[in-house]
Chains A and B, each alone.
Chain A
Amino acid sequence: MQKFNKQLFFTLGLGIALAACSKDDNGSPKGNTGGEGESKGKSRYVIAASPVGSLGEAANYLVTADSLHTGTVTTTGNGIEQDGYRYYAFHKNKLFSLLYGQGNPGAVTAYTLDTTGKLTRVANLLTETVQVFGKVDNDLLLVKVPRSGDANAGMFRVNADTPRIVGSNTINTINLAGNGERAHFTGAYQVGNKVYMPYYTIKGITGAVFHTDYTDSTWIAVFSYPGLQYERTIKDNRTSYIGYYFAQNGLKVTENGDIYAFSGAVQNGAGVKPSTKPSAIVRIKSGASDFDKSYFFNVQEKAGGRHLKAETYFGNGKFLVSFYVEPGKTEGFIQWAVVDVINQSLTWVTGAPPSSAILHVSMFNSVEENGKTIGVGITTAEGTWIYNFEAATAKATRGLKVEAGSVTGLGKLKY
């Protein structure tokens, strides 16, 4: 049982992931204009947690806490019940709860904190079930990526101030891939007035849907915004593809406008050709139209042969990066390091629970405004806590106790 669940969670890719819930790019104070009522400068953390009853019966409950460092929150008798498989994005001082409804319609439910700091539902709308979501200007950009059948991916713009669908377009993923397989996006990121969407390719045939022969290249598709017109693909072949299925992380624009992209160089997976390239970090200089050939951070070498899994950005060139513990593998237990992409240095994190003791790790993490710490929900046999990872010291400290079986994600809202 234990083994099964571990495998489940890790193959799910529910490792740490950045996605849309870190602070705004560059930490700029824009946004927060669409909140309900005037902000009094107070804030509160929202944590999406599941009670222990796993699989089909467990829902997420949205609970709130004033600090990630101390105290206890529980889902027992507390929290807003979420319907179905949900993923989360924080944008424009709202929490967007996205329903993952298979090929069925998805839904977007938006919440804010009211003037008393109570989490309140403000909108509910029909969308498609999406595999990719990102924050672009005032919008939440949702992308439905087909894994078989129809090859057209649907892209939808949902206004985050007054939540509703405001535009859409499609892209043919077979034509985009051009290698006989189909492109499958791993995330969507605003870069200036464009949207960058890294992808990998999959066969998309029944029985071999996620199989692929192409794991030695890097692709980022560039789209205009808000027109969502495909413009070009930025390619490279020094490492493998960026991100992974449902990653919502793997590409980050730093304060000076440089883009860093992270590849785990996949080794394991049914029907997946193991990459012959190292797990690495590559760069696109600010304003450049191609990868910076002078920059190649072979992080696998630095990490003793370990492949990276996912990243969350502290700021100032420093990332919290998870690695697969066993060298040469892209499955199994994980451990963390603070990685400086500018100095190309790596410091293993201390203070986190032993890798083999970890049963579950949150998918979406909270970055403190000052970029000093990142909060990650970690579950072990002893229970679930928010661990606060510090950029400067590479130390993780156990903070808020969450009486729940797992934490899916966390973030901060102002009121």
Chain B
Amino acid sequence: MKALTKVHTYLLAGILLLLLPTITQAQHTHFQGTVKAHNTPIIGATVSLVNTTYQTITDENGQFIFKDVPAGKYTVNIRFMGFEQFTKQIELPLSKALHVTLTENSEQLNGVTVEGKNTVQTLNRQAYNITALDAKKLHNTTLDLSHALDKVAGVRVREAGGVGSSFNLSLNGFTGRQVKVFIDGVPMDNFGSSFQLNNIPINLAERIEVYKGVVPIWLGADALGGAINIVTGNSYRNYVDVSYSYGSFNTHKSSVSAGYTAKNGFTVQVNAFQNYSDNNYWVTAEVADLASGLYYDKRVRRFHDNYHNETIIAQVGVVGKKYADRLMFGFTAAQSRADIQTGARMISVFGDYFRKGNTLLPSLKYQKNDLFVKGLNVSFTGNINLGTEQNVDTVARRYNWLGEFSVKPSPGSERERSLYKFRNNNGITTTNISYKLNEYNSFGLSHVFTTFNRKGSDATSPNSQSLKQPRKTQKHILGLGYKLDASPKWSMSVFAKEYLQQNTSSLAYTVDSLGWGNTAYKEQTKSFTKTGYGIATSYYITPKLQLKGSYEKSYRLPENEELFGDVINLEGVDTLRPESSHNINLGVYYQVPTNDMHRLIVEANFILREASDFIRPGLNTNGTKQVMTNQRDVRNTGFDAAITYSFLRRLNIGANVTYQNIRNTTRFENGAKVESAVYKDRMPNMPYLFGNGNAAYTFINFGKKGNNLTFIYDILFVEQYYLRWPSQGTADTKYIIPRQIAHDASVVYTMKEGRYNIAVACKNFTDSNLYDNFSLQKPSRSFNVKFRYSIYQ
């Protein structure tokens, strides 16, 4: 382990050396422009500089940009399905942007083979089983990232309540910490409660990539069940995007994103956002009479669920320099405060308990392509969170759902008296080096290092020795990959990963010489080393029909909170072992041949997963907290499928469905010799059949040229599932999470080609009782309106 830390130090030193500016610097420039037809922007046109590697795709506004191109003469080529190719000689730098109008190609009606692919579609067609969600299309909605993710096949976000409430992400049957989340390739593990998927507005993201199964090594971490990478927008030089929304339950959300890049490469980016909500939505609750304790049902408003967060992310740096394509110094400052209305069930009602936290996270990002030699790309990121988290439960009352309370003797609490405040000192570095040897062969090396060192104290027990004991982990994940692009039809990646973890905690023991009851602590250290590997490949049978397949033997190392507790409901277990799984994924992507007015795409994915030593929650010895244990083997055979249809960019219809057959494959439990009654039973408390549907129609040039009016309808379906083992007990006495059908509707009006936007939405317009978790009711019907101003250059 020591040696590894040393290696890491060398790596760091190496990277730092790379950061030093080099002396020579040729003149570089940016080349940008727009592509239109009939005065309408063309999305997804391929723009390339002939005989170079420069190639890109136009965005939703028909714009493209090449950054950091050496000055000189080039041939620019622009292609788009159904249009004549555009070719022109240019000499960079150009005095102004290139504006191109394409003319229609009469061949199109006879069937065209050239594909128009935007970034999202290009990603969807990698060897990895990846679904990319174009977040830009959702920028006029009030969604946060977690709700946007919920629209992806195979993903289910289970939320406990309203704005800012805790959530649990599941992807192909893996849940919680088994699914890794990244922002721009940086693991989000250490961002703190103030900067999470449930409070980051969709406007921060350009797209969301969902990896099902095998995760490319450049993402690096120990993802067991796939990964999610949120890509924030930085493809424009100068932009401002401001939005504000107001809605039911006194909900205010606003966000500002702005970026500026000077001619000399100096760049500043600022993202700021805020959420505020009283979350006082209607629920059907069991109200306990304070005197007799007897329960009765009543529709009541939530009364202690205020949530707010304020976050600012600032980055300053340079782009397009000889020594760095991108070098950014950043700082994220965030704070949040959440009233806690309920425990894990609505039957536990709180009226004063709250948590608060902040994030203070300095960061560094460095990226350089073609370093020293052409094809050698390096990137490095690093950050550390110095923020604190605190749980405050000091009011001795027992509330009911009417907000009435009985007073308990003081000092006491509603649940467990706490003023515990802690800082995790959680830092992460990621390093990626890739080398493209030639057109066919490329290599990659990645390294992720995380460090965790919790320090905390509780004013209610200031002298506690146990709170002063070490809680530390260090984790290294090293990946080595090789990619073969054998032909335009066939590509393949193989990789191996080395996982290392070292945990330091302390063991309590009694020392005879000190007398009984005097506990001493001795430091103990545990280390793991595991090796994983995998392969991913993709093949185009026809240009419109692609097959993908992958296999991986993967590991997930126990998380810090699983080892040391979250200080609320999770007790630490420092003896946890890594969990592992074998994963096989198969995918097919098919674009049904139609004429150009229609577009029909079908995608399907199949998964087979055998997991062992699953880290699952249990209860501690006196039943007061959760503990994680390595228990049970699980098999998941599942599939998800999605279909999208569009007609002339006006009508869009889509639907997806996910089925996960997750079965318990532990045949003998607790040392028993008889087969377990729940062997092969469906894993309880996990949604297994769910889907989304949506339909949208846009009136183009509505009212005025350049203005569009869109009507959108969304539906979510989740089949009923059991809280506990399906096979056990009499069916009509069992606890269930009922079938969920939620309808949302919205109208969006965009003016001046997206510069001004107004959206009005109604969520859950049938006002159904919706549940993602047993007994925890989600928001009743709500309305909101969102205003957005956006300008890009």
Chain A contacts to B: CB under 8 angstroms: 1-2, 4-6, 8, 11-12, 51-59, 61, 74-81, 83-85, 100-105, 107-108, 123-128, 146, 148-150, 152, 154, 158, 164-166, 170, 172, 203, 205-208, 211-213, 245-246, 270-274, 359-360, 379, 381-383, 403-405
Contacts and interface: CB of A to CB of B under 8 A. Distances in A.
A105 B670 contact: no
Interface stretch (B69-77, B134-142, B405-413, B754-762): B405-413
Given A52-B672, A208-B466, A381-B672, A76 B416 contact: no
16 contacts: A52-B670, A53-B725, A54-B631, A56-B619, A56-B626, A61-B728, A75-B677, A102-B415, A103-B414, A149-B412, A150-B396, A150-B413, A208-B519, A273-B516, A359-B672, A404-B677
B670 A125 contact: no
B400 A126 contact: yes
A393 B669 CA distance: 34
A57 B725 contact: yes
Interface residues of B, number: 74
Interface stretch (B494-502, B533-541, B730-738): B730-738
Main secondary structure of the interface of B (DSSP, over half): loop
Interface in B506-535: 508, 510, 515-517, 519
A150 B517 contact: no
B460 interface: yes
Given A81-B728, A273-B517, A103 B413 contact: yes
B466 A403 contact: no
Given A101-B348, A105-B348, A383-B672, 16 more contacts: A1-B631, A2-B671, A6-B671, A51-B677, A55-B618, A56-B617, A58-B725, A102-B625, A105-B347, A126-B400, A128-B398, A158-B293, A172-B409, A205-B461, A207-B461, A383-B674
Given A56-B626, A75-B728, A405-B672, A125 B288 contact: yes
A110 B731 CA distance: 20
A79 B672 contact: no
Question: Which 4 pairs across A and B sit closest by C-beta, in order of nearness?
Answer: A207-B466, A55-B618, A273-B516, A2-B671
Contacts of A56: 616-619, 626
Contact of A125 (B292, B515, B616): B292
Interface in B78-132: none
A103 B733 contact: no
B458 interface: yes
Nearest to B508: A270
A381 B675 CA distance: 10
B67 interface: no
B740 interface: no
B341 to A, nearest CB: 13
B624 interface: yes
Given A52-B676, A150-B411, A271-B517, A206 B458 contact: yes
Interface string B453-472: 00000101101111100000
A166 B292 CA distance: 7
B348 A104 contact: yes
B473 to A, nearest CB: 20
A149 B621 contact: no
Contacts of A52: 669-670, 672, 676-678
Contacts of A164: 292-294
A245 B623 CA distance: 13
B664 interface: yes
A59 B416 contact: no
Interface in B329-370: 343-345, 347-349
A57 B666 CA distance: 14
A104 B464 CA distance: 24
Contacts of A150: 396, 408-413, 417
Contacts of B412: 146, 149-150, 152
B542 interface: no
Nearest to B348: A104
A142 B621 CA distance: 21
Contacts of A205: 461, 463-464
B703 interface: no
A85 B724 CA distance: 13
B4 interface: no
Contact of A51 (B348, B408, B415, B725): B725
Contacts of B343: 101, 104
B131 to A, nearest CB: 30
Contacts of B704: none
Contacts of B669: 52-54, 405
B684 interface: yes
B720 interface: no
Contacts of B684: 53, 57
A404 B626 CA distance: 23
B619 A55 contact: yes
B438 interface: no
B652 interface: no
A107 B664 contact: no
Nearest to B625: A102
Contact of B728 (A4, A51, A54, A85): A51
A12 B409 contact: no
A177 B517 CA distance: 17
B724 A58 contact: yes
Nearest to A4: B629
Given A211-B517, A211-B519, A57 B729 contact: no
Contacts of B728: 51, 53, 59, 61, 75-77, 79, 81
Contact of B621 (A8, A101, A382): A8
Contacts of B619: 55-56, 85
A64 B677 CA distance: 18
A272 B519 CA distance: 10
Nearest to B406: A168
Contacts of A55: 616-619, 629, 631
Contact of A1 (B624, B671, B733): B671
Given A5-B670, A103-B624, A207 B733 contact: no
A6 B670 CA distance: 8
A353 B631 CA distance: 27
Task: Output the residue of A124, A152, A170, A206 with the most chain B CB within 10 A.
Answer: A206
Nearest to B616: A56
Nearest to A75: B728
Nearest to A212: B517
Contacts of A76: 677, 727-728
A331 to B, nearest CB: 12
B622 interface: yes
Contacts of A213: 515-517
Contacts of A246: 622
B517 A206 contact: no
B729 A59 contact: yes
B793 to A, nearest CB: 54
Contacts of A274: 516
A154 B416 contact: no
Contacts of A6: 671
A270 B510 contact: yes
B702 interface: no
Contacts of B465: 207-208
B685 interface: yes
Contacts of B20: none
Nearest to B670: A5
A128 B622 CA distance: 16
Interface string B557-573: 00000000000000000
B291 interface: yes
A51 B674 CA distance: 12
A79 B729 contact: yes
A383 B618 CA distance: 22
B295 interface: yes
Contacts of A59: 724-725, 728-729, 735
A83 B347 CA distance: 11
Interface string B612-652: 00001111011111100101000000000000000000000
A225 to B, nearest CB: 19
A181 B463 CA distance: 16
